[in-house]
Structure 1
Amino acid sequence: MTEANTATAAASGAAATERFRNRQREETAADTKRIDLLASELIGAVHEIIRRHKVTYAEYDVLKSWLIQVGLDGEWPLFLDVWLEHVVEEVANENRGGSKGTIEGPYYVQGSPELPSEATLPARENESGTPLLFQGQVTNVDGEVQAGAKVEIWHADSDGFYSQFAPGLPEWNLRGTVIADAQGLFKIHTVEPAPYQIPTDGSCGRLITAAGWHAWRPAHLHLKVSAPGHQLVTTQLYFHGGTHVEDDIASAVKPELILSPAPASDGGGNEVTYNFTLDRD
């Protein structure tokens, strides 16, 4: 066990909330008419649920208390990313012709160390987990190689924890920005991540328990791939046969995103090739 096992939902949620707020300050506000439309329809949909299921005051008070506690626990990023983001991503990227995307999740951190086209992700000495060589090429929808494309990658360790969201982990553990070579090629040496439960000691965990759901996400690699003049693709890649690939709590798995690693040619761990195709801006 690592010291990271003392991580709590509150601490993880607070970190995710603060990072989201810092990023959001840089974003342009949404159009007023769109806010009016979406907020009105959302509230109307809730009204319809209340009427259809004849929600009682006791149930309403439980909901009200829970919503307040989600905020106090700092778990709104977790709640929204687990249960809503996959539909937003689906709609936002429905016209893409290149590689499939999926949710970003709450654990992305900007500014990870920049690394050459073949690199080993920052890790602790003797980082546990099966060694993995993840390699591929970045092209666009016209088949043109994307020299110097950025391949940002981050993932959980073999205990299911992310650096900067759990104590006891180096700042950039298992995070990096790999710069593809002149042929758009990259090779990333890391370890296979583990499946993990989303934090269950906070409000999201109480919802999961009350509803009789499970809290597991399958093992996955997070990636953001970009090149000048092309649309960024944000995605996650999963492992064939992995636990909870078929019933991911975040509903983020797509058939195109499942990897099938094979034993590495050097006999050490596994390797897999996955190519990225970018849409033009």
Structure 2
Amino acid sequence: MTATHHAPAAAESGASATQRFKTDKFAAVAGTPKERVSTLAREVLSAVHETIRKHKVTYDEYNALKAWLIQVGEDGEWPLFLDVWVEHVVEEVATAHRKGNKGTIEGPYYVPGAPEQGSRGSVPMRADEGGTPLVWTGTVTSVDGTPLKDAKVELWHADADGLYSQFAPGIPEWNLRGTFSVAEDGSFEIHTVRPAPYQIPTDGACGKLIAAAGWHAWRPAHLHVKVSAPGHELLTAQLYFPGDEHNEDDIASAVKPELLLDPKPGDGGETVSYGFVLDPA
């Protein structure tokens, strides 16, 4: 699984994310009452109107906003924009009731159907994959402590250059993406490499906003996971590493103290222990 790659342009990455997302997302809300649609739409617009009035937005600023919104669409960066600056609040509201593990945003780079690797295995990776080897062990249980032997852990993350397979050219299709079942006792062991921090794409519309506002574009290093089991709520999370300078000011506002790992020195790399407690559906 060797390949070379270069950093994708925002348009390349954005087009991939948009295409992945362009499935029927409306079916789940097809029966939403018109009154709720009206309420949400009116309150969002009212917040925009209030901002305009409060800050006396000029026509030049308004026209710049229109041009920027058009560019977001042309660059295919709506998934990136929404996942970086909006999704963390939706996730907070949607999972506030949970008694099990804390989750966080999915982000724009999830791909379903990653290869099954069993309960003890390695994610697919290149022979010369960069990054410190990482062995991750844990268990999946219900809130009452019962091991969930039919659970699955989906893992995906960026490589040492901060790039994701299927969203950057030249990387093998399933590189650093795998699905892990668990053993009878709910345990799993995953072999991968420690990912690197990275900047979200900055040469497109989102990058223009970041530059104009004087923000940074960095995300701390993280592992993405989806943990599922029959009869339980799906958990989507990201796991972070202590000491990363952007844990405190993540551009996506997705870091939570409960999601920090505690790496230990291991045989030729690092080891971490982190398990999951799922809420009944």
TM range (shorter): over 0.9
1:4 touches 1:161 (CA, 8 Å); kept in 2?
A: no
Match of 1:111 among 110, 113, 129: 113
| Paired AA for residue 20 in structure 2 | R
Q: Find the counterpart in structure 1 of residue 19 from structure 2.
A: 18
Match of 1:163 among 162, 165, 168: 165
Q: Distance in 1 between matches of 2:269 and 2:31?
A: 47
Q: Distance in 2 between matches of 1:271 and 1:236?
A: 17
Q: Distance in 2 between matches of 1:28 and 1:242?
A: 38
CA deviations on 1:223-272 (whole Å, 9 max, x unpaired) are 000100000000000001113111100000000000110011xx210000
**What TM-score do you get using the length of structure 1 for normalisation?**
0.97
**What TM-score do you get using the length of structure 2 for normalisation?**
0.97
1:195 touches 1:243 (CA, 8 Å); kept in 2?
A: no
Q: Find the counterpart in structure 2 of residue 188 from structure 1.
A: 190
User: Structure 1 stretch 249-258 or stretch 19-28: which is displaced more?
Assistant: 19-28
Q: Find the counterpart in structure 1 of residue 94 from structure 2.
A: 92
Q: Find the counterpart in structure 1 of residue 271 from structure 2.
A: 271
Q: Distance in 2 between matches of 1:91 and 1:158?
A: 33
Q: 2:141 aligns to what SS in structure 1?
A: strand
Structure 1 portions without partners, runs of 5+: none
User: 1:38-187, aligned counterparts within 5 Å?
Assistant: 38-187=40-189
| Paired AA for residue 131 in structure 2 | G
Offset at 1:84? 0.3
1:70 touches 1:204 (CA, 8 Å); kept in 2?
A: yes
Q: Find the counterpart in structure 1 of residue 245 from structure 2.
A: 243
CA deviations on 1:181-237 (whole Å, 9 max, x unpaired) are 100000000000000000000000000000000000000000000100000000000
Q: Distance in 1 between matches of 2:39 and 2:23?
A: 26
Q: Distance in 1 between matches of 2:30 and 2:195?
A: 36
Q: What do you get for the CA RMSD once the two structures are aligned?
A: 1.2
Q: Find the counterpart in structure 2 of residue 219 from structure 1.
A: 221
| Paired AA for residue 67 in structure 1 | L
- Of all paired residues, the percent bearing the same amino acid is 64
Q: Distance in 1 between matches of 2:35 and 2:26?
A: 21
| Paired AA for residue 66 in structure 2 | K
CA deviations on 1:83-117 (whole Å, 9 max, x unpaired) are 00000000000010000000000000011111110
Offset at 1:28? 4.2
| Paired AA for residue 199 in structure 1 | P
Q: 2:22 aligns to what SS in structure 1?
A: helix
Q: 2:6 aligns to what SS in structure 1?
A: helix
| Paired AA for residue 25 in structure 2 | Q
Q: 1:45 aligns to what SS in structure 2?
A: helix
Q: Distance in 1 between matches of 2:172 and 2:150?
A: 27
Q: Distance in 1 between matches of 2:39 and 2:269?
A: 52
2:7 touches 2:163 (CA, 8 Å); kept in 1?
A: no
Paired residue total:
278
Q: Distance in 1 between matches of 2:202 and 2:7?
A: 13
Q: Distance in 1 between matches of 2:194 and 2:277?
A: 23
| Paired AA for residue 274 in structure 2 | Y
Offset at 1:132? 0.1
Q: Distance in 1 between matches of 2:18 and 2:27?
A: 15
Q: Distance in 1 between matches of 2:137 and 2:205?
A: 38
